[in-house]
Every structure is written in structure tokens, then in C-alpha cells.
Amino acid sequence: RAVRADKLCLAALSATLAHYLKDEAELQVPIWRMIAAPPEELRQRAQAWANRLGDGEVIAAQSTVGGGSLPDESLPGFVLALNKRSPNRFLERLRRLSPPVIARLENERVLFDPRTVLPEQDDLLIAALRQLT
């Protein structure tokens, strides 16, 4: 009983499978929207974030697709890089927000990857970053 799918789970699975059957997964399934995002669109979004924040630099980067079934796959794209005096502390503060914001640390810079943020979430991300800066 503990692992049986309930009505909500079955409805979500049914809706997701319908997107695949209609060949619209790249438009409707969030992970495929993220994977299919063209690098130029990612660069433009990262630049828009930098402009709205008045901070940061847009740099080329690789997005890791994921563990599980694609552990070594990455995709080219662009990220917003912020220089922070205490980047680990800044990342911790981001994770404590509601909702949490997850970024990555690379070369002592905090990176925000537009591939991992749906376009309709851009305003939430900017509001969260403004709250901490």
C-alpha cells in the first residue's frame, strides 16, 4: 500500500504521457523545456537578470543535465556570475529563503543558471536576490 500510486499521481502521469503522445513534451514538460532552451535565449535571460540587478557578469558555462540516467551529459549555455565577499555564506542565505534559491559556486563566484529557472520564475528570482543584496 505504501508505494501504490494515488489518483493525483496517476493524473499527473497521464497528463505527462499525453504531452509525449502529442509530441509537445519540449513545450510542456519542464525538464524538456529546460534542456531544449537555446544558448542565445539563456544568454539574453542572464543579461536581463544582470540588468535588473545592476550587478553581475554573464559568462559562458556548461549546464549539467543530471545524475541518474545522464550523469556525464552537459549542455552549453550562459549564467549570471556574482562576486560575493563570502560566497558560501551567500549560498547558505539563498537556501534559507522561502522558496529556497539554489545556485552553484565556481571559481569563488556564485552562478545562476537560467536553464534551471523557468522563465515565469524570473521575477521571483530577482526579488529573492534583491532581498539579499
Tens of each residue's pLDDT in the chain, 133 residues: 678 889 999 999 999 999 999 999 888 888 889 989 999 999 999 999 999 999 999 999 999 887 677 778 899 999 999 999 999 999 999 999 999 999 999 999 999 999 999 999 999 999 999 998 7
- The pLDDT assigned to 119 comes to 94
- The pLDDT assigned to 44 comes to 98
Instruction: Please list, in sequence order, all residues whose beta carbon lies within 8 angstroms of the beta carbon of residue 36, skipping any fewer than 6 positions away.
Output: 26
H helix intervals, 1-133: 7-21, 25-28, 30-36, 39-53, 87-95, 122-132
If DSSP codes are grouped into helix, strand and coil, which group holds residue 67?
coil
Instruction: Please list, in sequence order, all residues whose beta carbon lies within 8 angstroms of the beta carbon of residue 78, skipping any fewer than 6 positions away.
Output: 39, 42, 43, 46, 58, 59, 60, 61, 114
Residues, the chain, total? Answer: 133
